[in-house]
Structure 1
Amino acid sequence: MIQIEQDDISRPQVLALLEEHLRSMYELSPPEKVFAFDASKLNAPDVTFWTAWQDGVLLGCAALKELSSTEGEIKSMRTPSARRRTGAGKALLNHIIDEARTRAYQALYLETGCHRAFLPAQSLYRSAGFAICGPFGGYRENGNSVFMSLKLA
């Protein structure tokens, strides 16, 4: 059974997963086009961060950044390379969608990469109803990002 909990990002396993995430993003994308959050940005007051665990093993993490009182952005979705295909990504995504509905958001957004390594993530988002959209918030079209949204209302 996967357990999802709000986390404070201080656990060593969580910090290691965030480092893996950032390292991977910089390997796949030009540095100026990496929009992943590090631990300090995930500690911001407008960001809620969750982790997924099973039997004491970290299976993934995800965050929800409040863009406005009616919109949110998914940030830092990651499962460790060795723990992929466990269902943790889907569980975290469903948790964030449920939380967004609880907050009465009308829409959820996300930015991901266009490299083929991002295709499994894009497929996961599509399976939850996300569709390609244009840039949102402070993003601009940059040739490296795929922008997706899910209408909740």
Structure 2
Amino acid sequence: MIRVARADPRDPGPRALLEASHALMRELFEPEENHFLSVDELAAKDIRFFAATEDGEVLGTGALAVREGYGEVKAMFTAEAARGRGIGALILVKLEEEARALGLPLMRLETGDKLEAARRLYGRAGFVVRGPFADYVDHDSSIFMEKVL
């Protein structure tokens, strides 16, 4: 059974998956187009980091960065062997539950134009395209989305 729960991004399982995610983002996008948080940044007090596990194996990760007036979805990644099993959707539900529990009125995110599966996941979850937010710069490769809770 797949379980999504708070985790420490510095633990070996989540760390390995995050490092794989970061490597992929570096392959797909230029440095100025990458907005991922480091493993240590994901352990900060304003971040709620979650991992999806099954039988002790980390299948996916996701985080909610608590910002003024919204929660930002970060570190969404599913292990290649676990793709197509709904892991991302399970994590996204948990992030939304966390945002609601914190009383946040909406969730926002930035994703890449080459990440078609991620964009489909967010669209199915009710996220809609919007313009840049916070200190993001509008790159052609960036797609910004939000969901009112």
TM-score, length-normalised on structure 1?
A: 0.94
Cα distance between partner residues in 2 of 1:9 and 1:137: 24
Q: CA deviation at 1:10?
A: 2.8
* Structure-2 residue corresponding to 1:119: 116
Q: How many positions carry a matched residue from both structures?
A: 149
Alignment correspondent of 2:135: 138
8 A contact 2:8–2:14 mirrored in 1 = no
1:113-133 Cα deviation digits (max 9, x unpaired): 012xx1111000000100000
Give the drift of 1:13.
1.7
> Residue 22 of structure 1 aligns with which residue?
22
Match of 1:39, SS?
Answer: coil
Counterpart for residue 147 of structure 2: 150
Deviation at 1:139, TM superposition (A): 0.7
Tell me the CA shift for residue 11 of structure 1: 2.1
- For residue 53 of structure 1, what is the aligned residue in structure 2? 53
| Runs of 4+ residues over 3 Å off in structure 1 | none
Sequence identity percentage: 37
Equivalence map 1:63-142=2 (5 Å)? 63-68=63-68, 70-115=69-114, 118-142=115-139
Measured in 2, the distance between the counterparts of 1:8 and 1:114 equals 29
1: CA distance between counterparts of 2:12 and 2:94?
23
Which amino acid in the other structure matches residue 105 of structure 2?
Q
Work out whether residues 67 and 137 of structure 1, in 8 Å CA contact, stay in contact via their aligned partners in 2.
no
1:75-133 deviation per Cα after TM superposition (whole angstroms, max 9, x unaligned): 00000112111221100001101111111111100000012xx1111000000100000
Which runs of 5 or more residues in structure 2 are unaligned?
none
Is the contact between residue 114 and residue 145 of structure 1 (CA under 8 Å) also seen in structure 2? yes
Cα distance in 2 between the residues matched to 1:13 and 1:66: 24
Distance 1:37 1:105 in 2: 21
Query: Matched residues in 1 for 2:9 and 2:107: separation?
Result: 23
